[in-house]
Structure 1
């Protein structure tokens, strides 16, 4: 009997223009929301030579750790891609937010200041 095809999704990769939340434990100056530059590197003074575009996140994390190894002993790094989510409609602060992909509609609405006094949660739109 033939084996079933693997339903595994391809690894998540970053592209130019994408933004990720980088956390370097015990080094807040290296942490923050960092954009992938047009040349495929990270738009950050410390990591501007680290190529990340089209590379799986576990390899990106390893490259950042290598880059930090001369500043920290055993650096602890977390990298999370952020999605651009447009929150509009009857919310207090409609705009584009950078949020983790697993963000729920309710979480996005709260981030946008919740529905206005005259609004209703069904009048909130996400794109």
Structure 2
């Protein structure tokens, strides 16, 4: 279906919904002019700036900020608490007050979030620009927020930890970023206000002994001892690959020494020790 045909279909659908009374004219206008705004899912919070319109009552059009108490001031009805309400619930609350007060006989209220400042996402850890970011769109996803925060730093891990609340329950997710993109973004989760994204440092390993460049290096996935040695420039003229040792700590934190082969897989914080050749 072409873009023009799709647009015509959307307009026809909105007209039908309006005629059936499912969508108010004000709501239809908002959806027509802002097709990417899924306002029905958004919960209003302190700091949000919203535009309120009442069909056939242009003098009641108001743009206001939700106070820290969650309240706004609206013409004729005064203070209304909309904080913690979804957009449709806030629309119904205002419409009910207008109708019960006898100000508008059949009020059709529409609310459009102009700036969503009440809900923020915290991005911490090893990213380009850690900080708090406003949830300015209702369909913001993990990849969008990482881009806003400058991406993962060079020494950051490939996994992002998401901590938040869904349906009143605390959730914690670990998202593998490379796999997310290689699999078509299936784990590119939508974000919600109050979410925390944390990027830990990338796992590392160490090389010391008779190598070209001893030091600390990033541990890539499924990296073998041979690949680790190559990262360090390989064994120098005095070294040997015979008798390689990998020093690591077990699950209880006790140190252990492993007589490793070149195919041995490394783990985070492993230390490769290259001995000096006797010949």
* TM-score, reference length from structure 1: 0.53
The correspondence for 1:18, drawn from 48, 61, 64, is 48
Higher relative contact order (CA 8 A, sep 6+): 1
- Structure 1 residue 101, shift from structure 2 partner: 4.7
Q: Distance in 2 between matches of 1:45 and 1:26?
A: 15
- Given that 1:37 and 1:43 are in contact with CA atoms closer than 8 Å, whether structure 2 keeps it comes out as no
> In structure 2, do the counterparts of structure 1 residues 82 and 47 end up closer, same or farther at CA, with 3 Å as the change threshold?
farther
Residue 33 to residue 71, structure 1, CA distance change in 2 (3 Å): same
Q: Which of 23-32 and 42-51 deviates more?
A: 42-51
Unaligned residue ranges in structure 2 (runs of 5+): 1-39, 117-135, 139-279
1:45 Cα offset (Å): 4.5
In the TM superposition, structure 1's runs of 4+ consecutive aligned residues that sit over 2 Å from their partners are: 43-49
The structure number with the bigger radius of gyration is: 2
Query: Is 2:70 aligned against 1:43?
Result: no
CA contact (8 A) 1:13 1:55 kept: yes
In structure 2, what is the Cα distance between the partners aligned to 1:47 and 1:60? Answer: 14
Q: Which has the higher strand share?
A: 2
Q: CA deviation at 1:65?
A: 0.4
Distance (Å, rounded) in 1 between the aligned partners of 2:104 and 2:78: 18
* 1:81 and 2:113 aligned: yes
CA RMSD of aligned residues (A): 2.7
- Tell me, in whole angstroms, the C-alpha distance in 1 between the residues paired with 2:112 and 2:47: 15
Count of equivalent residues:
79
Shift of 1:22: 0.7
Identify if the C-alpha distance between structure 1 residues 72 and 45 changes in structure 2 by more than 3 Å, giving closer, same or farther.
closer
The answer as to whether partners of 2:54 and 2:60 remain within 8 angstroms in 1 is: yes
Q: Per-residue deviation at 1:52?
A: 0.6
- Match of 2:82, SS state, is coil
The 1-side partners of 2:78 and 2:104 are apart by 18
CA distance, structure 2, for counterparts of residue 45 and residue 75 of structure 1: 13
